[in-house]
Amino acid sequence: MAGMSVHSFPEQDVVTLADLRALTAASGPCLTLVMPIPQPLELAARLKNGIRAMEKQLGEMRMAEAEAQELLAPVRQLAIAAEAGHRWAHALAALRAPGVFRHFWLRERLPETAAAGERFEIRSLLAALARDQRFHVLALSRSRVRLFGMTPHGVEERPLETVAPPETDLDARASEKMGEKDRDDDRRLLKDVERRVTAALEPDSGPLILAAVEHEAALYRRLNRYPHLLEEAIHGSPDGSTAQALHERGWEIVSRRRGEALEKALAEYRKHEGTTRVSRHAATVLREAAEGRVAGLFLTAQTGGGLPDDPMNRAACDTVRQGGWAFTLPAEDMPAPGPAAALLRF
């Protein structure tokens, strides 16, 4: 292992299927460290405890001390950087194998995992795929228009062409009866805003959340052409709200709903329900996943013991590596009773 190159990625809080596909292609030993962080001050201590647990497991695998320390070095560096940078999230997942190092800051409250095996334990990350991790908030008022791109922990204002508002104050008149000229002014302004926002979001497919007073939100909805505008909105004038405050309120909305990818997967599963294209039998799921016949897999969040070599984690890794999708869901959200449900390719 000496002298190996390590492909390290920047910090991120968005987990993609492509990320997981790359991780499932890694060669062991694969170290999976998932740390719940109830309080920010606990991060450093929990990471150190996780590293010690990894050292013990690598010793039990009879790995040479020098190799074990080289393998763990990026995780130690992450612990130092996180403590110095005062980073915090509900959970941190760090995944390390020869030539591979990934870590994700997660908002899910996840059980602790510190495991070494021939593959990564990916089920904790599958939970993130069940919802939209990239979304947008449009803060809309007469005085200014702001469009934000957001992730579970990040927010960035997206540039829009200048929108010149009419001189009248819409917020002050929101609850008053308006004349026809006022309505025409509003319609022209919001039509221009909608055109610019839709153009800015055209390459994306994430949900859009409106932050506006009720009148503006209703009028904007009538003009909207962006197909992923959510019904739920952030009510009230956004002018006094910071980007961070809008992010938190937007996340509350996004985190309560199923993501688009999950909705499509559930619809596909239900289309074939009652046919030989679906299976809930564990032995069948394991065999078909190993043979590349599983198009998609649903697992309950409680399935397995959090170990890389648990059969259902192996099935998830096989499915994702061979081009399929996988999600972990609460038991009540599963498309069928039981710990696992698979959609077969044929």
CA torsion 252-257-258-263 (nearest 10°) is -140
For the segment 248-273, what is each residue's pLDDT rounded down to a tens digit? 999 999 999 999 999 999 999 999 99
- The yes-or-no verdict on residue 281 having pLDDT over 70 is yes
Task: For strands 135-140 and 208-212, give the pairing.
Answer: parallel
Closest CA to 95 of 26, 194, 150: 26
For the segment 327-346, what is each residue's pLDDT rounded down to a tens digit? 999 999 999 999 999 999 98
Q: Given this model, what pLDDT does residue 111 score? A: 86
**Single-letter code of the amino acid located at 11:** E
Per the model's pLDDT, the better-predicted residue between 302 and 247 turns out to be 247
Q: Given this model, what pLDDT does residue 85 score? A: 75
Q: Taking the domains of the chain in order of start, what are their residue ranges?
A: 7-120, 135-255, 260-344
Per the model's pLDDT, the better-predicted residue between 293 and 7 turns out to be 293
The sheet carrying 325-329 orders its strands as 278-279, 340-344, 294-300, 325-329
The top-level CATH class assigned to 260-344 is alpha beta
pLDDT, the chain, mean: 88
For the segment 133-142, what is each residue's pLDDT rounded down to a tens digit? 999 999 999 8
Task: For strands 234-235 and 135-140, give the pairing.
Answer: unpaired
The top-level CATH class assigned to 135-255 is alpha beta
Whose tokens are 């005062």? That residue is 86
- The yes-or-no verdict on residue 277 having pLDDT over 70 is yes
Q: Mean pLDDT check: name the lowest of 213-227, 290-304, 311-325.
A: 290-304
- The yes-or-no verdict on residue 180 having pLDDT over 70 is no
Question: Long-range contacts: 163-170, Cβ < 8 Å, 24+?
Answer: 163/189, 163/192, 163/193, 163/196, 165/189, 166/142, 168/142, 169/142, 169/143, 170/141, 170/142, 170/215, 170/216
Q: Given this model, what pLDDT does residue 95 score? A: 96
Section 302-323 average pLDDT: 85
Closest CA to 93 of 9, 201, 174: 9
Instruction: At 279, give phi and psi (nearest 5°).
Output: -145, 140
Whether 214 contacts 118, CB under 8 Å = no
Does 3.30.1380 match the CATH number of domain 7-120? no
**Is there a shared CATH topology between the 7-120 domain and the 135-255 domain?**
no
- The yes-or-no verdict on residue 172 having pLDDT over 50 is no
Section 70-77 average pLDDT: 94
Task: For strands 278-279 and 234-235, give the pairing.
Answer: unpaired
For the segment 193-211, what is each residue's pLDDT rounded down to a tens digit? 999 999 999 877 899 999 9
- The yes-or-no verdict on residue 129 having pLDDT over 80 is yes
Distance CA 300, CA 86 (A): 33
Per the model's pLDDT, the better-predicted residue between 197 and 12 turns out to be 197
Section 293-313 average pLDDT: 84
**Single-letter code of the amino acid located at 130:** A
